[in-house]
């Protein structure tokens, strides 16, 4: 083989002779021109580029060992870096898990605290919360039974019947008194559940709540002592009931009585004195009253209100900061979102269980029977809003956990996403055919809309719901009509 210029032979790479210069004039020397360069597979040494000495071949043992050592060092550094990153990621995951658990419990506790502050510390909200209680059958039955017992303790109905009955009929005083008691109970229950008494009930609770707040906020001049207490006075209810009873049973009180009408909500200060004068008895100091707060509870309530005002907002801020910190620290935010959803569900269940335990303890202090049933119904009504908030947190946590799981790399989420994508594609294809279907079946489509609207109207009977259903039905009918006309016009256009 000659050189490219054809002037001398060129030995092959594994050749047996020298490699001549391109011009064929001699062997190829190093770039510095001081020594020959043999082929890679040749039998002579490869001199350095400067021509001063031999250079070890690229596959030589020294170079190979050096490269191996360098690769081993790089691999060791890489492994150490991965180990450090894995350790840091593990610590971050653990910290994020702890923070998100604390945030979930803090969030649920904050909801309970804010509900309590808004409901129990605001007079108007409290009055609105307890306003429906007289309409509850169990509550009204308990209050009516209590008021009847109080009235019969001061009015000896059986003795008054003996006084008016002939001596030979005195044995009937007991049974008649029992019938009168039942009549009084029904009358009290009717008065309690009447619309006219709602004004009295609201004003009664407003006064009690204002007095409670005055005491526990420290604005009252009353000195907290062992005998201090705050009561709910049911004398206005008994006053209204006695007005009805005097018309139904004129002989019950031995005379025609004249008591003030309280249906306007105005409660006279001398109501107790006027009742005593008309009935002709001296009422006990605690007549028709039950204690809401005693001295110990007042002190605890004062401390609780002071703590709530001082720390409730701060607690809410801490909750937000815990949530932010959990997602900032977390190396996998989808996983943290999943944990947050699960912890919200757990926290809602745990707090609900605690509140139910407290409720059972409260009910255990009430005599079994009609009174316990009444208190149970009252607590159910008062805590209705808090119960709704708990259910909302439960659903939010469950939905958040489900969405975070479906967004993950697991086999099931990936399969579900693929199926959803296929379903969406198929649905979109069907939707593109919908105008043609509507144009071909306009009357049945219109009738179907009317049927759905009628069914919804039967289920949702409020005026607001009926108005919304009517508006949606009108919009639906207009929409399907316009779609059908446009499709028919497009079909009639020449192609």
In order, the DSSP letters of 403-431 are HHHHTSSSHHHHHHHHHHHHHHHHHHHHH
**Distance, CA of 11 to CA of 21 (rounded, Å):** 11
From the CA atom positions of the chain, what is the Rg in Å? 46
Angle of CA points 383, 305, 123, to nearest 5°: 55
Q: What local confidence, expressed as pLDDT, does residue 31 receive?
A: 46
Please give the model's pTM, rounded to 2 decimal places: 0.63
165-192: pLDDT as tens digits: 666 666 666 677 777 788 888 888 888 8
CA dist 282 and 272 (Å) reads 9
Domain ranges of the chain: 1-53, 123-287, 428-492
CB atoms within 10 A of CB 372: 17
Dist. CA 362–CA 378, nearest whole Å:
12
Answer for the pair 198, 134: CB distance below 8 angstroms, yes or no: yes
Alpha carbon distance 16, 10 (integer Å): 10
- The torsion angles phi and psi of 36, rounded to 5 degrees, stand at -70, 155
Angle at 97 between CA 94 and CA 101, to 5 degrees: 145
Structure tokens at 258: 């004249």
Question: What is the pLDDT, as a whole number, of residue 221?
Answer: 41
What the block records as the tokens of 255 is 């005379």
Cα–Cα distance, 319 to 297 (Å, whole number): 29
At 6-41, the pLDDT tens digits run: 444 444 444 444 444 444 444 444 444 444 444 444
From 482, 414, 415, 402, select the one nearest 446 (Cα to Cα).
Answer: 482
- Please report the pLDDT score of residue 253 as a whole number: 67
3-state secondary structure 142-202: HHHHHHHHHHHHHCCHHHHHHHHCCHHHHHHHHHHHHHHHHHHHHHHHHHHHCHHHHHHHH
User: For residue 252, what pLDDT is reported?
Assistant: 66
> Which residue stretches of the chain have pLDDT < 50?
1-56, 220-227
pLDDT value of residue 222: 39
Ordered DSSP codes for 313-352: HHHHHHHHHHHHHHHHH-S-HHHHHHHHHHHHHHHHHHHH
């Amino acid at each position: 083989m000659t050189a490219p210029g054809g002037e001398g032979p060129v030995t092959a790479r594994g050749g047996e002779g020298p490699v001549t210069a391109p011009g064929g004039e001699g062997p190829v020397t190093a770039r510095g021109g001081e020594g020959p360069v043999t082929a890679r597979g040749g039998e002579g040494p490869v001199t350095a580029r400067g021509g001063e000495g031999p250079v070890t071949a690229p596959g030589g043992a020294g170079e190979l060992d050096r490269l191996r050592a360098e690769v081993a060092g790089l691999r060791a550094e890489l492994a150490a870096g991965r180990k450090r990153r894995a350790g840091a990621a593990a610590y971050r995951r653990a910290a994020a898990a702890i923070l998100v658990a604390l945030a979930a419990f803090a969030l649920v506790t904050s909801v309970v605290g804010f509900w309590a502050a808004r409901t129990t510390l605001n007079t108007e909200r409290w009055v609105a919360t307890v306003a429906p209680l007289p309409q509850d059958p169990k509550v009204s039955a308990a209050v009516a039974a209590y008021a009847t017992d109080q009235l019969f303790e001061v009015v000896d109905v059986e003795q008054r019947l003996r006084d008016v009955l002939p001596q030979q009929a005195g044995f009937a005083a007991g049974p008649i008194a029992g019938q009168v008691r039942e009549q009084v109970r029904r009358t009290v229950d009717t008065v309690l559940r009447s619309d006219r008494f709602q004004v009295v009930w609201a004003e009664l609770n407003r006064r009690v709540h204002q007095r409670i707040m005055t005491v526990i906020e420290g604005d009252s001049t009353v000195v907290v002592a062992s005998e201090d207490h705050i009561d709910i006075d049911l004398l206005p209810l008994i006053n209204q009931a006695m007005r009805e009873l005097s018309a139904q049973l004129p002989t019950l009180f031995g005379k025609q009585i004249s008591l003030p009408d309280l249906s306007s909500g105005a409660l006279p200060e001398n109501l107790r004195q006027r009742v005593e004068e008309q009935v002709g008895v001296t009422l006990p100091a605690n007549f028709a009253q039950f204690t809401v707060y005693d001295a110990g509870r007042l002190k605890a309530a004062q401390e609780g209100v002071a703590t709530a005002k001082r720390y409730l907002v701060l607690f809410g801020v801490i909750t937000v900061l815990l949530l932010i910190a959990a997602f900032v620290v977390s190396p996998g935010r989808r996983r943290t979102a999943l944990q947050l959803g699960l912890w919200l569900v757990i926290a809602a269940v745990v707090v609900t269980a605690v509140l139910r335990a407290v409720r059972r303890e409260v009910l255990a202090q009430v005599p079994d029977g009609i009174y316990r049933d009444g208190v149970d119904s009252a607590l159910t009504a008062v805590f209705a809003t808090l119960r709704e908030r708990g259910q909302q947190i439960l659903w939010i946590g469950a939905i958040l956990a489900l969405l975070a799981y479906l967004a993950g790399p697991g086999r099931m989420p990936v399969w579900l996403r693929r199926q959803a994508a296929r379903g969406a594609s198929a649905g979109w294809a069907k939707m593109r055919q919908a105008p043609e279907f509507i144009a071909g079946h306009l009357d049945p489509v219109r009738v179907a809309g009317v049927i759905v609207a009628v069914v919804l109207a039967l289920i949702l009977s409020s005026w607001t719901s009926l108005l919304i259903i009517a508006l949606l039905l009108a919009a639906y009918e207009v929409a399907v009509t316009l779609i059908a006309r446009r499709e028919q016009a497009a079909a009639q256009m020449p192609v």
